[in-house]
Structure 1
Amino acid sequence: MTMDIAALRRDTPACASFVHFNNAGASLPPAVVVDTVVEHLRREAEIGGYEAQAEAAARLEAVYGSVARLIGAEPGEIALVENATRAWDMAFYSLRFGPGDRILTAQAEYASNYIAFLQVARRTGAEIVPVPSDESGAVSLPELDRLLDERVKLIAITHVPTNGGLINPAEAIGRRARAAGVPFLLDACQSVGQMPVDVEAIGCDMLSATGRKYLRGPRGTGFLYVRRALLDRLEPPFLDLHAARWTAPDRYEVRPDARRFESWESYIAGRLGLGAAIDYALRLGLPAIRDRVFALAERLRARLAELPGVAVRDVGARRCGIVTFTRAGEDAAAVKARLGAQGIHVSVSTAAGTLLDFEARGIPDLVRASVHYYNDESEIDRLVAALASG
């Protein structure tokens, strides 16, 4: 599919005001997402929150189908939650670990996930084993094979780390997890929305994602996928009257579907906005989105590499829409502030986000410029010119 970039930019009015290269933080939503959220909030003001929810029941139910189509799942395998961290936590803390059990993860694993590993290891005596990276920076598959034994109770990997263009080999990891009978939890926070993600092709048992990043949805939205075959083995770390039913004074029954991981109270306008964002992406097509995003990112890397004193820091044999770099003599926060003053949005990655990876690479911080399909080539030129003039 050929994208009409001019039309997509008109559908994103803020493109006329500044250059937004912070899509791995929070993308600019298209007009339909903004309108969907605002219209529902207005309807709540007009008739009441419960009444507006009842009126939108069919549209809310349709969001589960949209998420399922997006990742190749079934609607009953989807839970809608507040954010990707909550989605990931609900899956991870449903698993049971004991002394000597092993959790295999990546060197570039995200801080929120690793902190949860540390907490569970402290409570249970489980061990955290980071799989060494290969020469490209991705999870080493031979090292994974070496470590994958009867002690391993979970493989938990971030598909696209927050601090670079790397795409970890999720499908190859999934094949190994299936063969070993080990649950595989994939953090797809940065990959869903910028490339096709199919849970059957990947072979993951659980997947967490957010609305605000490459899906271009509202903040405060996310989802969890749990494979149906695993559902009955997982009881969420906490329950309410939506996740379970109180059947007798001393008994309850957990829901049979993935909505056992949800709470009764939720951001209804945001859920509708998430559905609108997913439907927007599906209409464009994830292969077309991937091709556009990856091409823009490679163009940006090439232009940055031409600048004296600028070093592109991305790793990985396959790279996505996240571009990271450093500039000699200027820390990342200063670069961000200088670009921001010129109407160019980027972000900063530090060791606080991926400690093991930063320590291994000996880098104190990085500037992160993350592109999306609505960015254009002139914006890349503008970023490069701003860096060159500093």
Structure 2
Amino acid sequence: MTSTVFSEQEIQRLRTETKGAENSIHFNNAGSSLPPDVVVKTMVNYLQEEAVNGGYETEYHYREQIDNTYSLIARLINAEKEEIALVENASTAWGIAFNGLHFRQGDVVITSEMEYVTNLIGFLNARQLYGIDIKVIPNDARGNFSLAHLEAAITPQTRLIAITHIASATGGIMPVAEIGIIARKHGILYLVDACQSVGQMPVDVQQINCDMLSVTGRKYLRAPRGTGFLYVRKEVQDQLKPLFMDGHSIEWINETEYQLRNDAMRFELYEKSRALTLGLAKAVEYAMGLGMERIWQRVQSLAALLREQLSHINGIAIHDIGDHQCGIVTFSIKGMDSQRVKSELAARNIHVSVGVARSTLLFMNRHQLPDVVRASVHYYNTEHEIKTMCAVLASIIL
């Protein structure tokens, strides 16, 4: 039985406010959620006004709302406005943070087997460029990250702990707050990729003790594609070199020198879509209006129901690991390619995605998984939609 934290009437209202919910069963929220109608309307209205009045003129008219985007995001993750930079996606945010560090030969980066492909590429590139070492902490037999192994792996050469909060291709959750305690105790910089967690569960950077956090808008936040943000703790901002700069990034300049601005906006460039920025702001506002704890309870409950129903279908193997799991549910059907499963579901207007091996390469290789079907639920999904998809899967197997 799913949680009653949202009433049936409220769920129906939320679905009415989501145009896409009328047309399909959308279980691809870990890829890109269906946006609330108010998010789309906010962007369209801005673009229409921009077309009539001009880009700079419209930006000036909306300057307070645009500026308030930083404050809303700061409230969402319990940060300060000055610690937020707006960027295009989580990969950009993560790249700005990671590549902004001053690595030296022999520096060690500690990560987990759940790390996303973009981040793994970053590690390998830094190893080629600077001669860093990469230490991977494997999960234990139950699929949980070993804090004891992390503690034992730390040496004076450890420069960074970089962890993906929720992996792309499995529903397990990393203990980021406990890792943060260890990182802070040893004075090690701590970077968290929260692209799959912000929007589906409460994320508090003070509780996590992270120095940097990368986030995308299009996934569980239900914001537009092309939006995201980077959190950089005020105390470590000077430890990161900006990868690019423009007049927006600096406080002042003369003919021989310049001074960076005194906040995280130093990691941005001036030119970006203001319509998308306002769409992101509206999505954050929408999520906070519902309450992140309520959203998280609903997502967990729906995911548990989906796993339970999948477990009763002969031929389906569920691949989620760890004692703590989220709204991402991964599975495979014996003898059937995951892409075919996705196509069969798509033909019936049910959206899932395929998690390929390279997306979470270390985990997938360790478990000899070439790919998995990924069904990711959100609070606007329903029990009936879950039953419908499971009935379709059962018919496919037969």
Q: State the TM-score, normalizing by the size of structure 1.
A: 0.99
- Encode CA deviations 1:100-154: one digit per residue, 9 max, x unaligned: 1100011010000110111111000111111121223232111101101111000
- Encode CA deviations 1:326-384: one digit per residue, 9 max, x unaligned: 00111100000000000000000011201111110011110000000000000001100
How far apart are the structure 1 equivalents of 2:368 and 2:34?
33
2:11 equivalent among 2, 5, 30: 5
2:93 equivalent among 87, 91, 95: 87
C-alpha contact (below 8 Å) 1:82/1:222 kept by paired residues = yes
Matched residue, 1:207: 213
Q: Report the Cα offset of residue 245 of structure 1.
A: 4.5
Is residue 294 of structure 1 aligned with residue 300 of structure 2? yes
How far apart are the structure 2 equivalents of 1:2 and 1:299?
16
How far apart are the structure 2 equivalents of 1:257 and 1:206?
14
Q: How does 1:262-341 map to 2 (within 5 A)?
A: 262-341=268-347
Task: Give unpaired runs (5+ residues) of structure 2.
Answer: none
Q: How does 1:139-158 map to 2 (within 5 A)?
A: 139-158=145-164
Matched residue, 2:256: 250
The alignment of Structure 1 onto Structure 2 pairs a total of residues equal to 390
How far apart are the structure 2 equivalents of 1:118 and 1:63?
34
How far apart are the structure 2 equivalents of 1:105 and 1:237?
23
Identity %: 49
Matched residue, 2:203: 197
How far apart are the structure 2 equivalents of 1:46 and 1:11?
28
SS, match of residue 325 in structure 1: strand
How far apart are the structure 2 equivalents of 1:247 and 1:343?
55
Matched residue, 1:358: 364
Matched residue, 1:51: 57
Matched residue, 1:108: 114
2:20 equivalent among 14, 28, 34: 14
Q: Report the Cα offset of residue 2 of structure 1.
A: 3.4
Is residue 23 of structure 1 aligned with residue 37 of structure 2? no
Tell me which moved more, 236-245 or 257-266.
236-245
| 1:19 aligned partner, one-letter code | I
| 2:6 aligned partner, one-letter code | T
| 2:146 aligned partner, one-letter code | S
| 1:2 aligned partner, one-letter code | F
C-alpha contact (below 8 Å) 1:232/1:256 kept by paired residues = no
SS, match of residue 190 in structure 1: coil
| 1:109 aligned partner, one-letter code | E
C-alpha contact (below 8 Å) 1:323/1:370 kept by paired residues = yes
C-alpha contact (below 8 Å) 2:86/2:228 kept by paired residues = yes
- Encode CA deviations 1:56-92: one digit per residue, 9 max, x unaligned: 0000011111000100000000001111111111111
1:186 equivalent among 192, 197, 205: 192
Q: Report the Cα offset of residue 246 of structure 1.
A: 5.3
Q: State the TM-score, normalizing by the size of structure 2.
A: 0.97
Q: How does 1:30-69 map to 2 (within 5 A)?
A: 30-69=36-75
C-alpha contact (below 8 Å) 2:6/2:298 kept by paired residues = no
SS, match of residue 153 in structure 1: strand
Task: Give unpaired runs (5+ residues) of structure 1.
Answer: none
SS, match of residue 324 in structure 1: strand
**Root mean square deviation, CA, Å:** 0.9
| 1:342 aligned partner, one-letter code | R
- Encode CA deviations 1:265-289: one digit per residue, 9 max, x unaligned: 0111000000000000000000000
Is residue 118 of structure 1 aligned with residue 118 of structure 2? no
Tell me which moved more, 236-245 or 358-367.
236-245
How far apart are the structure 2 equivalents of 1:183 and 1:142?
18
| 2:147 aligned partner, one-letter code | L
SS, match of residue 224 in structure 1: strand
| 1:341 aligned partner, one-letter code | A
How far apart are the structure 1 equivalents of 2:372 and 2:238?
42
- Encode CA deviations 1:155-202: one digit per residue, 9 max, x unaligned: 000000011111000000000000000010000000000000000001
Is residue 367 of structure 1 aligned with residue 370 of structure 2? no
C-alpha contact (below 8 Å) 1:83/1:220 kept by paired residues = yes
Is residue 131 of structure 1 aligned with residue 119 of structure 2? no
SS, match of residue 311 in structure 1: strand
Q: Report the Cα offset of residue 237 of structure 1.
A: 1.7
How far apart are the structure 2 equivalents of 1:53 and 1:160?
35
How far apart are the structure 1 equivalents of 2:34 and 2:209?
31
